[in-house]
Amino acid sequence: MRDTTASRELLERDMLAKPVSSLQYMLDQLSRTYQFLPQLAPDGVYGERTLEAVMRFQKEAGLPVTGRVDQTTWNAIRDAWLAQKARTSYSRATRIFPSEGIQVQEGATKEYLIVPQTMFNILARKFQGITTCEADGCNGPATAANIRWLQRAAGLPATGCMDTAAWDALSHLYEIFVVQDTDCQPQFTGGWG
């Protein structure tokens, strides 16, 4: 069973590594459900558009409208985003992994494993604990170690087996930290905003 507390702690830690981009990503995703929010480009700059989105969210959520992202505002945005994500959890990336119940055990070879291996190689530049490995479709020791790292981080059993749950966690991590990444990242100096 998935440990949601551990998953949330990992998500929070990862999001705090790039807080403005993560905030913008969540608000942009929420704008697809809530028409009062403007769409944002996660560029890592807390500009006028981001300020407007935060203030509109605060107003609609019944929070003090300050434009500052304190812990209460961050939690409210994150919780709304997680709730939205749960309603639409079948992400576009998940569709390329084989159907539910398919598993690639350690030592097994499946051609479609090349995609997650390549994603791990890109994420290795952003996370300690992920190592580069040959993208050959074989769930060898290096790939299985990366899968176990991901599973532990996501609160899943650390089996080293690539399955739908591991793929979904990898897809979301990749989307947040690679697809939404930009060349313009300000340095985080602490605090919530």
The answer for residues whose C-beta is within 8 angstroms of residue 126's C-beta and 6 or more apart is 177, 178
117 and 167 housed in the same domain = yes
**CATH number, position 40:** 1.10.101
Assign 172 to helix, strand or coil. Answer: helix
In this structure, is the dihedral angle defined by the CA atoms of residues 146, 149, 152 and 157, taken in order, positive or negative? positive
* 88 burial type by CB count under 10 A (0-12 exposed, 13-18 middle, 19+ buried): exposed
123 and 174 housed in the same domain = yes
Q: What is the mean pLDDT of residues 34-50?
A: 90
Q: Does this model's pTM top 0.75?
A: no
User: Tens digits of per-residue pLDDT, 85-143?
Assistant: 766 654 444 456 666 678 999 999 999 899 999 999 999 998 888 999 999 999 999 99
Tally of CB atoms within 10 A around 156 = 21
**CATH number, position 142:** 1.10.101.10
Residue 189 domain-assigned (yes or no)? no
